[in-house]
Structure 1
Amino acid sequence: MTASPLAIDTTVRLRSGYELPLLGLGVYMNDDAKTASLAALKAGYRHIDSARMYGNEAQVGEAVRESGIPRNQIYITSKVTNDDHGYEKTLAAVDESLKTFGFDYLDFMLIHSAMSDKPTRLATWKALIEAKKAGKIRSIGVSNYGVKHLEEIREAGLEIPDVNQIELQPLNQQKEIAEYCNTHGIFIEAYAPLMRTQWDVPAILEVAKKYNKTPAQILVRWSLQRGFAPLPKSANPARVASNADVYDFELSAEDVARIDALDRGKEGTITWNPVDVD
């Protein structure tokens, strides 16, 4: 792992052996993902989280090429949609994503959700394993997977996911899933870490004032100090840069605990979060 001047990890080595930059740009529902991605890369991000369902893989690919940064220094994620579940359909989806991005490989391909039946989920996972063996994907993982879905993979004797990307923010900290992932060496990526700007919470606002930082910066820093990979989203280039300005301060243990105490479990959900599907 590498560390910032304040000794916080900025990358994590995955079970695949690759280094994942912890701070990533989310481009969900961003019709101008190219502009946001270029702003992020200029601001120091080296991780962009896209998906087939977002419809902006091509824009992300263009931004990477126009940035002038070597491709192997940027970590790019996409995700298999629910409609693409199944062995053959997943293999085809991987090839389609590569063509759309204009890349020879993807750093990460995730199953976007567990919203199909068990046999189909496992077939989808086997296809990602095959695509990885073929060199089309470097690391593989899942998203919106609950403990039940993760256990399906383990009980089938298949390769364990490198990551599980879930909604994880102060109001919904997914403690049961997080504990399972930590026990089994599955790294957690946190989507919606900025709470979709629903941060009008006294504890967050007061901590932000204390450190002279924005609520968004406090939330990103909290996620990093908790050991997650936050994926803040913004279409505004200035905010994209601001959200990454989190390495010149450190939340005290007391302030981390204060934000930890905001957890409301599933009642604190603010996004899609289909971790309980059958």
Structure 2
Amino acid sequence: MATRDKQGTYPSNVHVGIGGWTFEPWRDNFYPAGLAHARELQYASRHLTAIEINSTYHGTQKRTSFVKWRDEAPDDFVFAVKANRFATNRRVLAEAGDSIARFIDSGIAELGKKLGPVVWQFAPTKQFDAEDFEAFLALLPASVEGVKLRHVLEVRHDSFLCDAYLKLARKYKAATVFTDSPKFPSMADLTADFVYARLMDSSAKQATGYGPKALTQWTERVRAWSDGKAPDDLPRVADTDGRLKAKEVYVFFINGAKERAPAAAQALLGKLGWQPTTDDTLGVPL
């Protein structure tokens, strides 16, 4: 099994990756020519430190799939899991109990220590309603089958850019997605003891999705978060995070010019001081 070469400067509380691992343009691009499709997760999980599973958003996955994914990834790899859309794409969030339970009980606990945060993504048209939103947050369990759960909220309407939302998210210890997409509201306010960033502004014109200057900026921001500090160049709702400091940082290059996502993630990992090592079990050079 491959091991990570953390070259002294890589912060061990940082996890960087992409959304999913099956995407045709990544073949003969990110993945070596001739690599069997069945081994793509093995390869990706040895060149990145995290993956956000997106298939769970569109439909219920088999428990055996989570077991397979867990066993194919290295011991220190992390899977974030996107919650099923039937729990969040509804008029009344307080009525999502059954959908939440079906998703939580579908087998995500099989990921064990490799289970990262669970992401609850809301539609861009979903506006902030404090009473209904709190009812939804109260439905999110703290654990499943003995595995602790951490929840992330991806809110996509400007009405969430308010102190009332921050107060609720902090009450329930749920993190808020930070995105650099001009399409959605962005707030770097901490609402939990970890950071979750989904970077969506990559360009097909850049080999690494983001140019050198942007990658340097993100490296500095990630290092600040990993040190428990707040980057001073990102938009916020409030002036302070109170006593909250990030203990872990999750960064995913996702959407945008998706074909560039693996290169962007690898470039950021490299600037943070991380490089993959060789694993001969795949039959291809890593």
Match of 1:140 in 2: 151
1-side partners of 2:107 and 2:127: how far apart? 25
The alignment partner of 2:176 has SS state of strand
Separation in 2, partners of 1:226, 1:157: 22
1:156/1:224 CA distance change after superposition, 3 Å: closer
CA drift of 1:125 comes to 0.6
1:21-100 to structure 2, matched below 5 A, reads: 21-27=14-20, 37-50=41-54, 52-55=56-59, 57=61, 61=66, 64-67=69-72, 69-70=74-75, 73-81=77-85, 82-83=88-89, 86-87=93-94, 89-90=96-97, 92-99=99-106
In 1: Cα distance, 2:100 partner to 2:150 partner? 16
Task: Specify the alignment match of 2:245 in structure 1.
Answer: none
Partner residue in 2 for 1:214: 208
Q: SS in structure 2 opposite 1:42?
A: coil
**CA, structure 1 residues 155+103, in 2 after alignment: closer, same or farther (shift >3 Å)?**
closer
Question: Is the alpha carbon distance of 1:199 and 1:248 closer, same or farther for their aligned partners in structure 2, counting shifts above 3 Å?
Answer: same
Distance 1:60 1:233 in 2: 22
Q: How many percent identity over aligned positions?
A: 9
Amino acid in structure 2 at the alignment position of 1:231: F
Contact preservation (8 Å) 2:15, 2:251: yes
**Cα 1:83/1:249, change in 2 over 3 Å:** closer
Report the structure, 1 or 2, having the larger helix content: 1
In the alignment, structure 2 segments of 5+ residues that lack a partner are: 27-36, 223-248, 273-286
Partner of 2:253: 232
Residue matched to 2:265:
243
Task: Write out per-residue CA displacement over residues 176-210 of structure 1, whole angstroms, 9 at most, x where no aligned residue.
Answer: x22xx14x5564422234x2x4364xxxx6xxxxx
Q: 1:216-243: per-residue Cα shift (whole Å, max 9, x none)?
A: 4745554242126421248999973673
Task: Give ranges in structure 1 of 5+ residues lacking alignment.
Answer: 12-20, 206-212, 251-278
Q: 1:68 to 1:214 in 2, by over 3 A?
A: closer
TM-score of the superposition, structure 2-length normalised? 0.54
Distance 1:22 1:97 in 2: 23
1:7 and 2:28 matched: no
| Structure with more relative contact order (C-alpha pairs < 8 Å, separation 6 or more) | 2
Match of 1:198 among 194, 200, 203: 203
Cα deviation for residue 154 of structure 1 reads 1.6
The match for 1:166 among 178, 182, 199 is 178
Q: Normalized against structure 1, the TM-score is what?
A: 0.56
Q: Give the alignment partner of residue 223 of structure 1, picking from 218, 223, 229.
A: 218
Q: What CA distance in whole angstroms lies between the structure 2 residues aligned with 1:123 and 1:57?
A: 26
How large is the RMSD of aligned CA atoms in angstroms?
Answer: 4.7
* Paired position in structure 1 for 2:135: 123
Check conservation: 2:179, 2:199, Cα contact below 8 A.
yes
User: CA 1:198–1:55 in 2, change beyond 3 Å: closer, same or farther?
Assistant: farther
Distance 2:95 2:147 in 1: 15
